Amino acid sequence: SRGAIPSEYLDRLDLQNLIFHDDIRLERIVANNGQPIIITSQPFINGVAATAAALDDLMLGKGYEKLTDGAYYDERTGLLVFDLVPRNAILAADGQIYPIDPVIQRIMPDFGQFLREHPDTINLIPG
């Protein structure tokens, strides 16, 4: 009831591929009692949990500003990325970080400014 609608979810997957050069693929959509089930795949990644500092470096390097732990905003693109914490990111042996299911939302600049002023509200945003 609080999650993304299917089109939002698919948009988030596409954004994750664009931002993080991931390889998430839409395999199929099936119906279950009239409700869509979206089936995706992505390569298996061997590694360890990334550190919070490494995630900060990754996102700052991509031009995002840190709003609070695990939450980043790019005003140019209007993208908010949150729930990007060590348990949701794998550091591979080659040094690349692979985020696993971060929440990515398109937001308006006024909401971005609100989040700058009230970063404690980010975890209250329905994902």
Rg of the Cα trace of the chain?
15
Which of 52, 65, 46, 55 has the alpha carbon at shortest distance from 115? 65
Residue 79's DSSP bridge partners are: 74, 106
Is the pLDDT reported for residue 125 higher than 90? no
- Other Cβ atoms less than 10 A from the Cβ of 78: the count is 14
Q: Which two tokens stand for residue 13?
A: 């997957």
SS (H, E, C) 1-39: CCCCCHHHHHHHHHHHHHHHCCCCEEEEEEEECCEEEEE
pLDDT tens figures, 43-83? 899 999 999 999 999 999 999 999 999 999 999 999 999 99
Residues 67, 116 contacting (CB under 8 angstroms): yes
Element (DSSP H or E) covering residue 111 = helix 109-117
Share of the chain above pLDDT 90, in %: 82
